[in-house]
C-alpha cells in the first residue's frame, strides 16, 4: 500500500480541499497522512495581499517541506500558486473545476451590486475584484477584508461591510451557499487564473510510482488543459496577486480551447480583454494570448501597475 504525506494549510477551506484529495486517494487504496501548516499569507492579516507583495504567500512553507521530503504532495487552491514554480517542483494534477464565478455574499437578501446606494462598502482582498468593482460599479467603495472565510463572514455579520465578494467555489465548499445573494456573470467578472480548481504540487524527485498514482486518481484531463493555458498566459505576463490579470479557459464541443482574459488598471478605468480559440498546445496558446494582450496595450497597463509598487 502506498503511503502519502499530504501538506495543507490549516484553514477550514484548505482542510476541506485536503480531505477531498485524501478521500480520493484512500478510495484508490492508498494511506494518507495530513500535515497542517500556517503560511505567511495566513499569518499577516493586517496588510492587503498586494501590499505584502511576496510570491508564494500561501505556498512557501508547504513547498519547503516538499523539498525536505517531509511531505509527498501539497494541496493548494490553484489560484494561489505562483505563476512560475521553482525548477525542482511541479504541478502534477488539477481537480475537476468547480463553478468559477465570483459571488456576492450578504446577510441582506436584497443586495444587488447594481442596486446599492452611493458609497456602500464592499469587502474583498482581491486586486482583480477591486478593479472590476471600480470599473462596473464606481459608486461603491471597496475595502480590504482578510482572514479565513469564517472570519470574513463574522466581519460581515458585524456590519463592517454591506457585502463581500468571494469565489463561488470556496463559499460552496464551506457550506455557506445560503449567504450568496448574487452570482456574477463570467463574461463580466472574469475569474482569476485557476479559480475553482485544486492543484496538486510535488517535488520532481518523488518516485515515479507515486507520481503515476497521483496523476491517475487526481488529474482531470480537460481541466488540466485549461489550467495549463491559463497559467502559461499568466506566467508570460509575470503576473502575481498584486496584478489584476484575469483569464478563463474552457473546452468547447469541437475540442477547441476557448479563452477569455485580460488585464485591468488598478483604478478600473482601463481594461483590455481578448477572446480566442485554438487546438494548439495549451502552453503555446497561453503564451500567444499573453503576447497578443501586451501588443494590444496591456503592456502599458502592466507597466503603470508595476511603477506604483
Query: Cβ(155)–Cβ(75) under 8 Å?
Result: no
Q: Record the cell numbers describing residue 121, joined without a space.
A: 462598502
Count of other CB atoms within 10 angstroms of residue 13: 18
CA nearest to 167, candidates 158, 157, 177: 177
Distance of CA 109 to the CA centre of its chain: 26
Q: Determine the straight-line distance between the first and last CA of the chain, rounded to whole angstroms.
A: 50
User: What residues form DSSP beta bridges with 37?
Assistant: 9
Phi-psi region of 278 (alpha: psi -120 to 50; beta: other; left: phi over 0): beta
User: What residues form DSSP beta bridges with 198?
Assistant: 77
Catalytic residue among 80, 102, 177, 178: 80
Distance CA 294, CA 241 (A): 18
- Is residue 177 flagged as an active site residue? no
CA nearest to 11, candidates 73, 76, 55: 76
CA nearest to 83, candidates 224, 246, 257, 233: 233
Quick check: helix, strand or coil at residue 121?
strand
Q: Which residues participate in catalysis according to the annotation?
A: 80
Amino acid at each position: 500500500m502506498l503511503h502519502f504525506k499530504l501538506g495543507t494549510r490549516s484553514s477550514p477551506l484548505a482542510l476541506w480541499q485536503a480531505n477531498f484529495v485524501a478521500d480520493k486517494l484512500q478510495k484508490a487504496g492508498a494511506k494518507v497522512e495530513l500535515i497542517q501548516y500556517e503560511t505567511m499569507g495566513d499569518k499577516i492579516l493586517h496588510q492587503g495581499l498586494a501590499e505584502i507583495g511576496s510570491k508564494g504567500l500561501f505556498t512557501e512553507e508547504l513547498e519547503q517541506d516538499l523539498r525536505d521530503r517531509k511531505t509527498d504532495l501539497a494541496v493548494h487552491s490553484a489560484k494561489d500558486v505562483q505563476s512560475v514554480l521553482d525548477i525542482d517542483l511541479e504541478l502534477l494534477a488539477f481537480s475537476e473545476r468547480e463553478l468559477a464565478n465570483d459571488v456576492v455574499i450578504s446577510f441582506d437578501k436584497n443586495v444587488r451590486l447594481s442596486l446599492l446606494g452611493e458609497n456602500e462598502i464592499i469587502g474583498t482582498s482581491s486586486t482583480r475584484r477591486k478593479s472590476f468593482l471600480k470599473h462596473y460599479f464606481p459608486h461603491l467603495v471597496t475595502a480590504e477584508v482578510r482572514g479565513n472565510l469564517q472570519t470574513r463572514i463574522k466581519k460581515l455579520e458585524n456590519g463592517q461591510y454591506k457585502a463581500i465578494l468571494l469565489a463561488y467555489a470556496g463559499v460552496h465548499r464551506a457550506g455557506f451557499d445560503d449567504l450568496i445573494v448574487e452570482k456574477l456573470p463570467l463574461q463580466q467578472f472574469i475569474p482569476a487564473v485557476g479559480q475553482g480548481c485544486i492543484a496538486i504540487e510535488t517535488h520532481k524527485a518523488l518516485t515515479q510510482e507515486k507520481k503515476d498514482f497521483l496523476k491517475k486518481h487526481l488529474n482531470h484531463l480537460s481541466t488540466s488543459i485549461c489550467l495549463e493555458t491559463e497559467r502559461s498566459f499568466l506566467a508570460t505576463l509575470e503576473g502575481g496577486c498584486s496584478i489584476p490579470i484575469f483569464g478563463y479557459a474552457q473546452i468547447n464541443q469541437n475540442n477547441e480551447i476557448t479563452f477569455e482574459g485580460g488585464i485591468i488598471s488598478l483604478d478600473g478605468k482601463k481594461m483590455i480583454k481578448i477572446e480566442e480559440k485554438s487546438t494548439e498546445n495549451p502552453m503555446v496558446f497561453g503564451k500567444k494570448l499573453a503576447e497578443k494582450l501586451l501588443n494590444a496595450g496591456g503592456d502599458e497597463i502592466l507597466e503603470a501597475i508595476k511603477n506604483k509598487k
